[in-house]
Chain A
Amino acid sequence: MIELKNIFYSYSANSSENTVALKDINLKINKGEFIGIAGHTGSGKTTVAQILAGLINPSEGEIVVNGESFSDYKSAARALRQKVGIVFQYPEHQLFEETVYRDIAFGPKNKGLNEKEVDECVRKSASLAHLKEELFDKSPFELSGGQKRRVAIAGVLATEPEVLILDEPAAGLDPSGRARLLEELRRIREEGTTVILISHSMEDLAENVDRIILLGNGEKIKDASTSEVFQDVQSLENCSLEIPEITKIIKILNENGMNIPENIFTVEDACDAICKALEVSQ
């Protein structure tokens, strides 16, 4: 659906040297996928996300949207903005309306929908984001941090994007808030939205996404299915990332004489596999 070809991007920083943030990035986003983007701090994850969302124009490269190639970045950006919604890190900092309801309605209103359609959009996205309707008349500034984040995410969902990008959406949430957020993402994905999750947490990626794009120093290191990426320990280490904790535990168990398949990345799968291995050995 969206394709980036040989994309370069550099920030003209306030010094005599330019920072090249992205080097020769090629990637393809297909409809209905759940994709993870991982990489060390400063590897270019946010920059890629902003290009995908049509918020910054690459310095070089080609953007293809729905099979149509754009050489003119301005129209490419317009096409991307219509398709892609992005939830930035700490999205709660962008709330501005007097009430929660009106803040969520900002996006659909900009799309020119009538009042009834806007109302439908708001209610639907609020329920997707697990936001109670009692909060609709409150000021967004009176809410707790987690609730604010829900409002912000609902505000992006309300624009009904075909592709939803989330940049570290779980940062600063407690474990249960984190689990609930990921659960919401799975639901959004089931509704047919393509979801791109940027995260440092290998556990979150392992349990949710189908495909992982690894970035390191602005270059694409690997782009493969989740299990394939986690088996390539070398690439992960090159990006200063680690395999999920549970996979490490399995490796340690195997070193100590157990025999469990090592392509296991979630706690539930590990549970089953360990039980099975114990049965066999008895």
Chain B
Amino acid sequence: MIRDITIGQYYDAPSPIHKMDPRTKILWTLFYMITLFVVEGFWSYVVIVASTALIIALSKIPVKFMLRGLKPIILLVVITAALNLFMTQGENVIFSKGIFTITLEGVYMAAKMAVRIILLIIGTSILTLTTTPTVLTGGLEILLSPLKKIGVPISVFVMMVGIALRFIPTLLDETDKIIKAQTSRGADFENKNPVKRIKAMIPILIPLFVSAFRRADDLAVAMECRCYNADADRSSYRRFAFGKRDFYALMYAVIFVIILVVIKVVL
């Protein structure tokens, strides 16, 4: 149940995407997210969905695994879609009853938002699924390092991101264990009554927070003991180098943009 959450987890597989330089993947994801929110029109989305599917296929991550990761955000997608469906004003009314009016524009808007959110989650999870947290933060640090010159504490930021990513699976495991322990004591997490359901979260959340704080405290003490200083000028044993794969990724991005521009001009 709790293991369905795939955001921020790493999925090991022998694929070219896994072996790609993290910087390329981060930039690609950023580029993908921007594209997702600037493009308009049905055919552009068809192109984006198709290229996302191609990347998933290349990454050798099972589609089932990807879809499972979407489960926790279904509610968010549904609410967003519903809001857009009812709130969008338009000319072409297709349904109207009392205060509820559905317009054709509303339907388009709802579909667009739903697709955007789903693609956004898929796109970012491809990044984290194919990159281990240490490599990811390593890449992030290099990409952000120019900001150090103007005094932004990049090392601290990157360390925090790294620790956060590192702790997602640990805390999920912990949650899983706590849910099981409380289930065994007769806690009911499947009650239909929403108030009771929320109340049933308390026996999970409190031990989870307690353990998260304990872990954070332990880690802080351990780092302090080893004289960790975030601002130290340190080198890394990991060297990143752009290779053939990264060149292909760049080509892919160029072709992707050209196709989108062509669609925009032609249609």
Across-interface contacts of A39 in B (CB, < 8 A): none
* Set of chain A residues within 8 Å of B3, measured between Cβ atoms: 12
- Complex CA–CA separation, A141 to B211 (angstroms): 11
A94 touches B60 (CB 8 A): no
Structural contact, A53 and B184, CB atoms closer than 8 A: yes
Q: Which parts of A132-156 form the interface with B (CB within 8 Å)?
A: 141, 155-156
- In chain A, positions 94-143 with a C-beta closer than 8 Å to chain B are 94-96, 106-107, 110-111, 141
Contact B10 A14, beta carbon cutoff 8 Å? yes
Interface assignment of A16: CB less than 8 Å from any CB of chain B: yes
A79 touches B (CB below 8 Å) = no
A94 and B181 contacting across the interface, CB-CB below 8 Å: yes
Q: How many residues of B contact A (CB 8 A)?
A: 28
| B186 and A93 contact, CB distance less than 8 A | no
From the candidates A15, A16, A56, A85, name the one contacting B185 in the complex (CB within 8 A). A85
CB pair B180 A88 closer than 8 Å: yes
Which A residues are within 8 Å of any B CB, using their own CB? Answer: 12, 14-16, 50, 53, 55-56, 81, 84-86, 88, 91, 93-96, 106-107, 110-111, 141, 155-156, 159
CA distance A91 to B180 in the complex (A): 11
Judged by a CB distance under 8 angstroms, whether B262 is at the interface is: no
- Chain A residues with CB under 8 Å of B207's CB are 93-96
Is B183 on the interface with A (CB-CB < 8 A)? yes
Question: What separation, in Å, do the CA atoms of A56 and B181 have in the docked complex?
Answer: 12
Question: Taking A14-B12, A94-B207 as contacts, is the C-beta distance between A84 and B202 under 8 angstroms?
Answer: no
Please, how many angstroms separate the alpha-carbon atoms of A103 and B64 in the complex? 40
CA A117 – CA B3 in complex, angstroms? Answer: 37
Chain A residue with Cβ nearest B61: A16
Chain B residues with a Cβ under 8 A of chain A:
3, 9-14, 60, 62, 169, 174, 177-178, 180-188, 202-203, 206-207, 210-211
User: Nearest chain A CB to B208's CB is how many angstroms away?
Assistant: 9
- Cβ-defined contact, A107 with B186, below 8 A: yes
With A106-B203, A110-B187 already in contact, the answer to whether A14 and B9 are too (CB < 8 A) is yes
Q: Chain B contacts of A106 at CB under 8 A?
A: 182, 185-187, 203
CA–CA, A88 to B202, complex, Å? 19
What is the CA–CA distance of A88 and B203 in the complex, to the nearest angstrom?
16
Selected contact of A155 from candidates B10, B185, B188, CB within 8 Å: B185
Complex interface: chain B residues within 8 A of A141 (CB)? 210
Nearest CB in chain B to that of A80: its residue: B184
Q: How far is the CB of A147 from chain B (nearest CB, A)?
A: 16
B31 to chain A, nearest CB (A): 26
Which of B177, B184, B203, B206 is close to A156, meaning CB atoms less than 8 Å apart? Answer: B184
Q: Given the known A-B contacts A93-B178, A96-B203, A141-B210, are A159 and B13 also in contact in the complex, defined by CB atoms under 8 Å?
A: no
Residues from chain B with a CB closer than 8 A to the CB of A110 are: 185-188
Q: Which residues of the partner chain A approach B62 to less than 8 Å between Cβ atoms?
A: 16
B178 / chain A contacts, CB cutoff of 8 Å: 93-94
Nearest 9 CB-CB pairings of A with B = A110-B186, A96-B206, A15-B12, A107-B185, A94-B181, A55-B180, A86-B184, A16-B13, A96-B203
* Known contacts A14-B11, A16-B12, A86 near B206 by CB under 8 Å: no
